[in-house]
């Protein structure tokens, strides 16, 4: 299994129950795909840098998890068809750490 993190922005027009349901949907999806959810960090409502689908705000959520690559494909597929998700990104945490280390070496 590899370590990943996903940051996604939920439609701010949802009420608190709707937002909790969306977060639960994706944590359950990951667990059903055999992933181990390490942490779910809700950043809350924040102003977007630019409008997305006529929204100026969004509800940010960060999930850290360990999973096999096929789980990412299913997660990405569902993110793309869910109208409640404004934007998302999935990052390999190990690759991200390696890039930061390489950049630090170049700076020295």
Return the SS3 of 107: helix
Domain ranges of the chain: 2-107
- Residue-wise pLDDT for 23-67, tens only, equals 999 999 999 999 999 999 999 999 988 888 888 999 999 999 999
pLDDT for position 99: 65
pLDDT for position 2: 87
Q: Where are the beta strands (DSSP E) in 1-108?
A: 2-10, 36-52, 55-67, 85-92
C-beta separation of 59 from 18 below 8 A: no
Q: Domain 2-107 belongs to what topology?
A: Alpha-Beta Plaits (3.30.70)
Structure tokens at 101: 């280390």
- Residue-wise pLDDT for 84-94, tens only, equals 999 999 998 87
In the block, tokens 């795909």 appear at 33
Q: How confident is the model at residue 98 (pLDDT cuts 50, 70, 90)?
A: low
């Amino acid at each position: 299994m590899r370590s990943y993190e996903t940051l996604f922005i939920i439609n701010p027009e949802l009420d608190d129950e709707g937002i909790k349901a969306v977060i639960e949907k994706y944590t359950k999806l990951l667990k059903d795909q055999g992933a181990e959810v390490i942490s779910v960090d809700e950043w809350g409502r924040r102003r977007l840098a630019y409008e997305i689908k006529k929204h100026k705000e969004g509800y940010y959520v960060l999930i850290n998890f360990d999973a096999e690559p096929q789980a990412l494909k299913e997660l990405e597929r569902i993110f793309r068809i869910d109208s409640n998700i404004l934007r998302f990104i999935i990052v390999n945490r190990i690759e991200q750490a390696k890039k930061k280390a390489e950049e630090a070496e170049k700076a020295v």
